[in-house]
Structure 1
Amino acid sequence: MDEQPSVFVGIDVSKDRLDVHLRPSDETFHVPRDAKGLETLAHRFGNRPIALVVLEATGGFEASVAAALAAVGLPLCIVNPRQIRDFARAMGRLAKTDTLDAEVIALFAERMRPPARPLPEPERRHFAELVSRRRQIIGMINMETNRRDQAVDKQLIRRLGRHIAFLERDLAELDGEIGHAIEASPVWCETEALLKSVPGIGDVTARTLLAQLPELGTIGRHQLAALVGIAPINRDSGLMRGRRSTAGGRTAVRGVLYMAALTAIRRGSPFRPFYERLTQRGSPRKVALVAVMRKLLVTLNAIIRDRTPWRPLTA
């Protein structure tokens, strides 16, 4: 009996549904993007000779799909949406619907044969651990440096110096590993570049956001600000009206956004006029700085959502 031909699958992922196209049979179907739909999808692929499943990176919606398919051992690749757009343009496929997008993705899988890559979520967890460890090492370097500066005993000073040198070598090695992790993922490379297109956002901020804030670009600005801990919280009771304040959230993300905001309000930055307007109206400097942090976060969220780099706007 003849062997079945290898099957290449393209999946267009949206918030509520998955449009699926198979090559070379050109079979199409769709399932909801929920637990039952993912179970149905994995079951339908169970007895087929699947060579490759390709999904676009959609800002997080693809993570649950990738996890479900990888759990049943299917070869999977998550590609940069720009690659699919360029491929469709080269083929003259200008029309765009979810069904047509799935077909183009399946054709891309069949003809381009991108290598199957590891799941993004385990990669992200690994990356988050690296970034977290980097923060810990920097904290240890600062503490050991303070101890060395306060020490009197020469032998102790030398011992602390050796430990600081060891930690600095470990930090350099960790920075290299973080860089390689980003370079290994085309989607992360593009996302890091998009983040760093914004004034005030450097390597540390971009990499912390990649690792610690995967929701960036996938949820609304108010929800995101609350998640990070820079949304004003009401403190009202009865007739009493308390001052609004921020609380909770992700400390690591809030910390790098604070430093980014300090950089962003330097003279010449497009965020500085916004900061100056707030302080001139009587807002305390700290309150104005938190407002800049929120403006930065909203800007970053829109850039990742739309996959478009920073364009200077009126602050």
Structure 2
Amino acid sequence: MTCAGVDVAKGHLDLAIRFGSEEVETHHFENSSHFENSSEGIAQLEELLCESDPERIVLEATGGYERPVSAALGAAGLPVAVVNPRQVRDFARATGRLAKTDEIDARVLALFGERIQPEIRPAPSKDQEVFSGLVARRRQLQKMKTAEQNRLGTTTSDAVRADIEEHLSFLEKRLAETERQIEMAVENSPLWREEKDLLCSVPGVGQKTAHVLMAELPELGEANRQEIAKLAGGAPLNCDSGQRRGRRSTWGGRASVRKALYMAALSATRCNRKIRAFYDRLVDRGKAKKTALVACMRKLLVIINTMMKNGTQWNPEYQASSA
């Protein structure tokens, strides 16, 4: 198996190609105008990888710097897998590689691709990238607004108060404009419009939650119930050893999706009779209220996943049995 690892930094790229069990060939492109992390450098990297014809190209998620690279390689028909940096770092430690440089990271990524064989996912379309960026931007603006509102409540300076109020007014305008762009993007796409209507048919799921799920959980309707719960960080994970049976807990996954689902589940326990009945049943059995709420979050996600897979609107009787 030929695997490639690409370590992506802000200004440069490192490529390592592993030919089966042979030594890794490493290309370091720092300070090279031809292989910078730019459109020109990515094009040259793409040409080199097309010649090598690897079975898997592994990149780490690096906060957005990897997106232009993965999109370009995916558009060229190359098999790209974007993986969690924590998994790669744990793998490196497990194989005794404690040092960390860009060149070493590229080698580790190539070895990770060969040994672990992470799943290759198709690159999101340009429209999906734009939509995801708008949803993420709305979340950023909301965080800034909350931070400024907290500062407004504690400041004693009239000058600072006036400045914060002016900034809050600006943030309100930007939030409204971003919301308008999100709604326009959905309205201009028949597929997204149908998905939003389907999601919003679930009591407890509002328009903003639907936007988050559409933008940041595109696997809805394609993954099975266990996979989709893990992606959202809602699956209870075991912690057992020998005769010890540890406490199950949920962690990991996509934080933004998990937060949106948590609030949707909280709303559903009040307005969705099926989720409310499930919640009451768990509490009556002695489960802590927060544990019961997390279980409702997972059940709601599984129901939504089934709806997306079948293309059906909310039906309490049918969905209760399928979940």
Shorter-chain TM-score: which interval? 0.5 to 0.7
Matches of 2:307 and 2:296 in 1, distance apart?
16
Kindly name which structure, 1 or 2, has the bigger radius of gyration based on alpha carbons: 1
Corresponding residue of 2:253: 249
Matches of 2:130 and 2:211 in 1, distance apart?
12
Corresponding residue of 2:100: none
Matches of 2:190 and 2:305 in 1, distance apart?
19
Taking a change above 3 Å as real, the CA distance of residues 235 and 120 of structure 1, as seen in their structure-2 partners, is closer
* 1:122 positional shift: 1.4
Corresponding residue of 1:217: 221
Greater relative contact order (Cα < 8 A, sep 6+): 1
Taking a change above 3 Å as real, the CA distance of residues 279 and 240 of structure 1, as seen in their structure-2 partners, is same
In the alignment, which of 126, 130, 133 is matched to residue 129 of structure 1?
133
In the alignment, which of 182, 203, 207 is matched to residue 203 of structure 1?
207
Matches of 2:134 and 2:254 in 1, distance apart?
17
Corresponding residue of 2:282: 278
Corresponding residue of 2:86: none
Corresponding residue of 2:304: 300
After superposing on structure 2, the runs of 4+ consecutive aligned residues of structure 1 that deviate more than 6 Å are: 67-72
Letter in 2 for 1:182: V
Corresponding residue of 1:289: 293
Taking a change above 3 Å as real, the CA distance of residues 169 and 69 of structure 1, as seen in their structure-2 partners, is closer
Corresponding residue of 2:162: 158
Matches of 1:139 and 1:69 in 2, distance apart?
32
Q: CA contact under 8 A between 2:203 and 2:272: conserved in structure 1?
A: no
- The answer for unaligned runs of 5 or more in structure 2 is 1-71, 78-122
CA-to-partner distance for each residue in 1:166-198, whole Å, 9 max, x for gaps?
Answer: 001000000000011111110000011000000
Matches of 1:227 and 1:299 in 2, distance apart?
15
CA-to-partner distance for each residue in 1:98-127, whole Å, 9 max, x for gaps?
Answer: xxxxxxxxxxxxxxxxxxxxx972111111
1:309 paired with 2:320, answer no
Matches of 1:217 and 1:248 in 2, distance apart?
21
* 1:241 positional shift: 1.3
Matches of 1:239 and 1:147 in 2, distance apart?
51
Matches of 1:138 and 1:69 in 2, distance apart?
32
Percent of paired sites with the same residue? 48
Matches of 1:196 and 1:267 in 2, distance apart?
13
In the alignment, which of 136, 143, 151 is matched to residue 147 of structure 1?
151
Taking a change above 3 Å as real, the CA distance of residues 70 and 299 of structure 1, as seen in their structure-2 partners, is same
* 1:69 positional shift: 12
Taking a change above 3 Å as real, the CA distance of residues 69 and 185 of structure 1, as seen in their structure-2 partners, is farther
Pairs within 5 Å for 1:162-181: 162-181=166-185
How many residues align? The count is: 204
* 1:155 positional shift: 1.2
Taking a change above 3 Å as real, the CA distance of residues 248 and 68 of structure 1, as seen in their structure-2 partners, is closer
Q: CA contact under 8 A between 2:283 and 2:289: conserved in structure 1?
A: yes
Taking a change above 3 Å as real, the CA distance of residues 68 and 303 of structure 1, as seen in their structure-2 partners, is farther
Matches of 1:227 and 1:120 in 2, distance apart?
17
CA-to-partner distance for each residue in 1:129-163, whole Å, 9 max, x for gaps?
Answer: 11011001000000000001100011111110000
- The answer for unaligned runs of 5 or more in structure 1 is 1-66, 73-118
CA-to-partner distance for each residue in 1:55-79, whole Å, 9 max, x for gaps?
Answer: xxxxxxxxxxxx999869xxxxxxx
